[in-house]
């Protein structure tokens, strides 16, 4: 197989995996899945393709200092909720507020193209967690 063809195949497999999930997986998690399909793929190749897909505007990278980037094939602006205990990221069914862009533009004179918003807290599973120790720690009760 030609190099170009192989590269395309790898990139397409990664994009397909991302399009098939709303779990906002890490590069490692994507690597584990794509390996089932392309067993000899390397983690470096996965990273390179994620970078390319991001540059091409096909995916979003959700990065947060001190934690691994998460990836999202839904490139339409939407809000997220990040659980501070388990680290999962959920899509929110919440309309994007266009007024805030206009308000900030009016106040600053900046041209605002979009805003990103991430809510934080505890997901349902973690609220019901059978691991009360980590929950207590999160709430600062220990």
SS3 at position 138: helix
- 59 lies in the binding site for Mn ion (CB under 5 A): no
List, as one string, the DSSP characters of 67-130: S--EEES--S---EEEETTT--EEE------HHHHHHHHHHH---------EEEE--HHHHT-S
Cα 6 to Cα 76: distance, rounded to the nearest angstrom: 29
User: Binding residues for Zn ion, per CB under 5 A?
Assistant: 83, 85-86, 123, 126
Least distance from Mn ion to the Cβ atom of residue 94, Å: 12
Segment near Mn ion (CB under 5 A); pick from 4-12, 13-21, 50-58, 72-80: 72-80
Total of residues contacting Mn ion (CB under 5 A) = 3
Q: Does residue 91 touch Mn ion according to CB under 5 A?
A: yes
CB-nearer residue toward Zn ion: 5 or 128 = 128
Residues in the chain: 142
In sequence order, the 6+-apart residues with CB closer than 8 A to the CB of 102 are 112
- 11, 17, 45, 72: which one binds Mn ion (CB under 5 A): 72
Query: C-beta of 79: minimal distance to Zn ion in Å?
Result: 17
Select from Mn ion, Zn ion, none the partner in contact with residue 83, using the beta carbon and a kind-dependent cut-off of 5 to 8 Å: Zn ion
């Amino acid at each position: 197989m030609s190099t170009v063809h192989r590269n395309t195949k790898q990139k397409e497999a990664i994009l397909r995996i991302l399009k098939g999930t709303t779990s906002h997986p890490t590069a490692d998690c994507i690597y584990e899945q794509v390996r089932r399909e392309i067993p000899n793929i390397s983690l470096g190749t996965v990273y390179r393709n994620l970078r390319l897909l991001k540059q091409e505007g096909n995916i979003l990278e959700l990065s947060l200092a001190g934690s691994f980037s998460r990836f999202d094939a839904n490139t339409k602006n939407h809000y997220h909720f990040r659980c501070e205990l388990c680290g999962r990221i959920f899509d929110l069914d919440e309309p994007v507020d266009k007024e805030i862009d206009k308000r900030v533009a009016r106040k600053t004179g900046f041209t605002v193209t979009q805003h990103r918003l991430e809510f934080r807290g505890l997901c349902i599973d973690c609220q019901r967690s059978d691991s009360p120790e980590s929950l207590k720690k999160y709430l600062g009760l220990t």
